[in-house]
Structure 1
């Protein structure tokens, strides 16, 4: 079950930073995360947002291929709509393009380092 994490949850933030680092990401410009843990309470997936901007999607390589990305993104989309935003933007690495395209997003800008 996804869980909401804010900057105040220091212990969770440390785990998030570690998973992001393992995936070549940093936790800049994020005020809320959605996380998923396994049965042993290990963080296995995270996605962040800065208002209506989705960013920092990372899934532990051991758990990739189990639709965790879709679950995380769908959950954070609901959170964004609950805050009365009408548009959602994504800042992601090219490796995640297919996931977001599958979920109905379209590319509006891309360069070598940045995505949607």
Structure 2
């Protein structure tokens, strides 16, 4: 990781991701401590994003909202998830999708990663 990666904040990286999702060849990975779905908090959010796998992504307040498929066996069942921006520790663009993917890190925050939240931290977010 370089200092240039850390100089971006999560919001700037999320805005860059939102713009990049307009291109169907772009793929991203977003990693966060938790996400909310149907009033429940789920721990460890690792979300693969591309134009064909997510719908209606947006930043609203201090959350990243997106519709995803939580169950690949139910492709018609989209679920809205909410990810607190302050719980995101990494956003990367996948430059070469496949087994040996190369990543371009848009955002990495080691402090957020190191400080895994207690149960109440995500509930309050």
Q: TM-score with structure 2 length normalisation?
A: 0.28
Q: Hey, which of these two has a bigger chunk of helix by percent?
A: 1
- Max Rg structure: 2
User: With CA pairs under 8 Å and 6+ residues apart, which has the higher RCO, 1 or 2?
Assistant: 2
Q: TM-score with structure 1 length normalisation?
A: 0.29
